């Protein structure tokens, strides 16, 4: 079985390369990672590797590029891995507060857009635990920003920017003033104070979306792309090796990209695997999910 999987991954390599080139040519990406258990050679135990995802989704601002998800595997979570993955990328990444990303932002080639959903989660956890009225107010203020987003989803970037400048930016400014006043009254050791610190430390990256209609409020597209990995962990238990992790990343790239483009991943992969060995290399882009047509339809058209 492992030999078949290895051969399959090798056959798909040109398609994965074409997908990677497409994704890394984007202006903005959603970035996240998740742990994956991997069998450690000679120990009979598992170690913790990582699967990283880089998601392009321009649908919220009526962009021309199709959605896509690219996955990479690494044996650990060192910051050197996303730096290597993003060597050819220039633009904005939506990300959480992982410190390993910090070096990416040093030179200005890559700019950070922080995630309001992560901020909201901090306050939600406090409110769920102790029923804090201050946490409830923070949730309400953040909720106002999301209500604006509901009305501008699918609009072109300039219209989104205009609406955010008129409606969202004043709400964010008011939230910042309230947070400044409120945080000073809290015990620094409290979880509520920690939630305020998390938000205020990322403020410049959080409000960047109000000046650019292409950007999102949060990093949810990347989190959604990782759901399949979470489900997989419950079924296959672990990857057999680092090589197996890399093969899994290749398959997840095609599966999630197919799903984002409204395809049945099983039908898509079965057709691509049947055709790719004889497919002209210069036409490999024809097999990307947004360009793909089933072979049976191609024959009928001919």
Q: Are both 125 and 149 inside the same structural domain?
A: yes
How many structural domains compose the chain? 2
Of 185, 211, 237, the last residue of a domain is: 211
Q: Are both 130 and 266 inside the same structural domain?
A: no
What pLDDT is recorded for position 234? 62
Mean pLDDT, rounded, of the chain: 92
Beta bridge partners of 38: 47, 239
Of 159, 189, 211, the last residue of a domain is: 211
Q: Are both 205 and 62 inside the same structural domain?
A: no
- Range 70-97 average pLDDT: 95
Q: Are both 278 and 227 inside the same structural domain?
A: yes
Q: Are both 120 and 162 inside the same structural domain?
A: yes
Q: Dihedral sign, CA of 80, 253, 13, 284?
A: negative
Q: Which domain holds residue 24?
A: 2-112+220-301
Q: Are both 147 and 101 inside the same structural domain?
A: no
Q: Are both 144 and 289 inside the same structural domain?
A: no
Q: Give 244 or 166, the one with higher predicted confidence.
A: 166
Q: Are both 17 and 108 inside the same structural domain?
A: yes
Candidate from 99-103, 149-153, 212-216 with smallest mean pLDDT:
99-103
Q: Are both 290 and 240 inside the same structural domain?
A: yes
Candidate from 4-18, 89-103, 285-299 with smallest mean pLDDT:
4-18
Under 8 Å between Cβ of 204 and 218: no
Q: Are both 199 and 238 inside the same structural domain?
A: no
Q: Are both 56 and 181 inside the same structural domain?
A: no
What pLDDT is recorded for position 240? 72
Candidate from 40-44, 122-126, 178-182 with smallest mean pLDDT:
40-44
Candidate from 129-138, 179-188, 220-229, 293-302 with smallest mean pLDDT:
293-302
How far apart are alpha carbons 269 and 253 in whole angstroms? 11
Cα 245 → chain centroid: 18
pLDDT in tens, 160-190: 999 999 999 999 999 999 999 999 999 999 9
Predicted TM-score of the model (pTM): 0.92
Asked if residue 302 has pLDDT above 50, the reply is: no
Q: Are both 153 and 97 inside the same structural domain?
A: no
Under 8 Å between Cβ of 122 and 116: no
282's tokens: 């210069």
List of residues 6+ apart from 12 with CB closer than 8 A: 250, 251, 254, 272, 273, 276
Of 194, 211, 228, the last residue of a domain is: 211
3-state secondary structure (DSSP) of residue 201? helix
Q: Give 44 or 66, the one with higher predicted confidence.
A: 66
pLDDT in tens, 187-230: 999 999 999 999 999 999 999 999 999 999 999 999 999 998 87
């Amino acid at each position: 079985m492992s030999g078949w999987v290895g051969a399959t991954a090798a056959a798909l390599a040109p398609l994965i390369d074409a997908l990677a080139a497409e994704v890394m040519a984007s202006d903005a990406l959603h970035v996240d990672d998740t742990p994956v258990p991997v069998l450690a050679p000679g120990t009979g135990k598992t170690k913790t590797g990582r699967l990283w995802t880089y998601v392009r989704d321009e649908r919220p601002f009526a962009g021309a590029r199709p959605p896509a998800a690219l996955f990479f595997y690494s044996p650990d979570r060192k910051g050197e891995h996303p730096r290597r993955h993003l060597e050819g990328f220039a633009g904005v990444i939506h990300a959480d507060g992982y410190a390993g990303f910090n070096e990416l932002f040093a030179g200005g080639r890559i700019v950070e857009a922080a995630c309001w959903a992560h901020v909201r989660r901090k306050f939600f956890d406090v409110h769920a635990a102790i029923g804090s009225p201050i946490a409830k107010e923070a949730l309400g203020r953040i909720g106002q920003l999301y209500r604006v987003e509901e009305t501008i989803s699918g609009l072109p970037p300039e219209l989104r920017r205009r609406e955010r400048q008129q409606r969202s930016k004043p709400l964010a400014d008011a939230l910042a003033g309230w947070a400044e006043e409120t945080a000073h009254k809290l015990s620094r050791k409290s979880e509520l104070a920690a939630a305020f610190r998390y938000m205020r430390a990322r403020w410049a990256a959080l409000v960047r979306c109000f000046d650019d209609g292409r950007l999102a409020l949060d990093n949810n597209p990347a989190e959604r792309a990782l759901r399949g990995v979470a489900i997989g962990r419950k079924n296959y238990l672990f990857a057999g090796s680092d090589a197996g992790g890399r093969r899994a990343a290749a398959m997840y790239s095609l599966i999630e990209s197919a799903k984002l483009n409204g395809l049945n991943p099983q039908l898509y992969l079965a057709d691509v695997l049947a055709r790719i060995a004889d497919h002209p290399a210069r036409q490999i882009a024809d097999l990307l999910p947004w360009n793909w047509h089933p072979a049976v339809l191609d024959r009928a058209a001919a």
